[in-house]
Amino acid sequence: MILTTATLKLAALLAGVPLASAFPSHHRHLASQLRRRASVSNSTAPVAASWYANWHADDVPLANISWSKYTHMTYAFAVTSVTEYVSLTDDDKTLLTDFVKNAHENNVTALLSIGGWGGSTNYSTIVDSATHRTEFVKTVTGIAANYSLDGFDFDWEYPNGQGIGCNDLNPNDTANFLSFLQELRADPAGSQLFLTAAAAVTPWNDADGNPSTNLTGFSGVLDYIAIMNYDVWGSFSPTAGPNAPLNDSCVADSSQAAGSAVSAVKAWNDAGIPLNQLVLGVPAYGHSYSVQSADALPKGLSGELEPFPSFAKAKQPLGDSWDSSEVYTDVCGNPQGQEGVFDFWGLIQGGFLNENGTAQAGIARVYDECSQTPFVYNSTSKVFVSYDDAQSFAAKGAFINSTGLRGFAMWEAGGDYKDILLDSIRSAVGFPANGTDSDGSSLGGSLTPPPAEGSGDDTEDDTDDC
């Protein structure tokens, strides 16, 4: 396996990452009905989706996914390749087969995501000529047939915008991407597929490297675009800040308005994507920062927590047990260290939150009304985390409903704890409380917090259990 789990892990945990600020221009359908459908679905049925990260499968078995609460589930990731166009590891070939089987048993649309942070290096090349696009179409329809997939998610990070650092780039990337999708739709098998894309908070770049102003063509070929409204603030930002702001109206310095659901939806809609073809990407994780008490709690230990404190870049805290302090080399050959990500269950395991998702005694918490996201701080360890909880997911769900977006897509299925986040956003969007299966039974159970501390079951990831 050339692509290590570390690579994939980076792809995932950082899906969409530096986009927002690191570059200026930038990150219950019945399956049987879908298979009969031609081209873009005429259905506006709401979407409750999540990505399933293949490298967490040991901790998050397929059987533990709350299938009845989802309409779509996307397997992450297959990666781009100039020789194979799309590559899957041998492990993926087994797991993807089981994934599709589980999804279909639950009437959930099964999609395969191609790309991601670490898997987009060769996207530009595989769409850059008519010959390449035709081969890519053949590959995609072949994979769909071989695995009985309902469709694909194109997670190109990013067309004519650098992502991980060594992606091929071409000024025509976005135009070539559209040509590819149009050719895929013109194919008899491709016309039957459910097609989505995962995108940054700003529209795909035009030939000049600026956000495109007219992406209307994509609305005719993609069923929906999921806006990855997360990693908007992170270790690359000038101060700590919200991972997934709903609104950016309160950032004092407008140059720091790195993005938000409100501004991203406006930008994509202004570029020609109808609201009911936009899905809000929401994170079941947060980012940690090392922050001095005087900066986090300027009014003292009993004062209010400051949401945008300065932080020590050199002291990135270790996140939960899915994070690793081990330095590894990414697909570009660059060393990568700990990312400081806390999944929602990880905040519970790490002593920040109670099992019901409220802040533990001794942990400072503030809910920032502007970004509509919470922050927690442990003044002993100096670890500050911007994250999402039931309250912020309810705000995002209400926004999805009132704006008329198609639904939500959560990164990642295994990040939640006992469906606290999933239940909250489902309810706020307007989904029935107990899942959408026809007989009303709740199948699949709920995800329990995956990695028991020190369980040592993470060997494939080379992750240090902490």
Ligand X SMILES: *[C@@H]1O[C@H](CO)[C@@H](O)[C@H](O)[C@H]1NC(C)=O
Q: Interface with ligand X by CB under 6 A: which residues?
A: 30, 37-38, 42, 46, 59, 61, 64, 81-83, 106-107, 121-122, 139, 142-143, 146, 166, 168, 170-172, 214, 216-217, 246-247, 249, 262, 351, 354, 356, 358, 360, 362-363, 378, 380-381, 399, 401, 404, 429-430, 433-434, 437-440, 443, 445, 448, 450
Question: Is 295:241 a contact under the CB 8 Å cutoff?
Answer: no
- Counting every residue written for the chain, the total comes to 466
C-beta of 18 vs 451, nearer to ligand X: 451
Report, in Å, the least distance between residue 324 CB and ligand X.
18
Report, in Å, the least distance between residue 222 CB and ligand X.
13
Other C-beta atoms closer than 10 Å to the C-beta of 325 total 12
Report, in Å, the least distance between residue 361 CB and ligand X.
7
Residue that has been written with the tokens 């959408």 in this structure: 436
Report, in Å, the least distance between residue 81 CB and ligand X.
4
C-beta of 73 vs 143, nearer to ligand X: 143
Report, in Å, the least distance between residue 274 CB and ligand X.
12
| Complete DSSP assignment for 150-187 | -EEEEE-S-TTS-SSS-----TTHHHHHHHHHHHHHHS
C-beta of 214 vs 327, nearer to ligand X: 214
C-beta of 31 vs 228, nearer to ligand X: 31
The residue among 248, 371, 259 whose CA lies nearest residue 306 is 371
Query: What is the rounded CA–CA span in Å between residue 181 and residue 308?
Result: 41
Report, in Å, the least distance between residue 333 CB and ligand X.
8
C-beta of 239 vs 401, nearer to ligand X: 401
Report, in Å, the least distance between residue 12 CB and ligand X.
18
Q: Mapping DSSP to helix (H, G, I), strand (E, B) and coil, where does residue 413 land? A: helix
Write phi, then psi, for 125 (nearest 5 degrees).
-70, -40
Beta strands per DSSP E along 253-304: 278-283, 285-290
Query: What is the rounded CA–CA span in Å between residue 291 and residue 293?
Result: 6
Query: What is the rounded CA–CA span in Å between residue 123 and residue 177?
Result: 9
Q: How many Cα atoms occupy the beta-carbon half-sphere of 168 within 13 Å?
A: 17
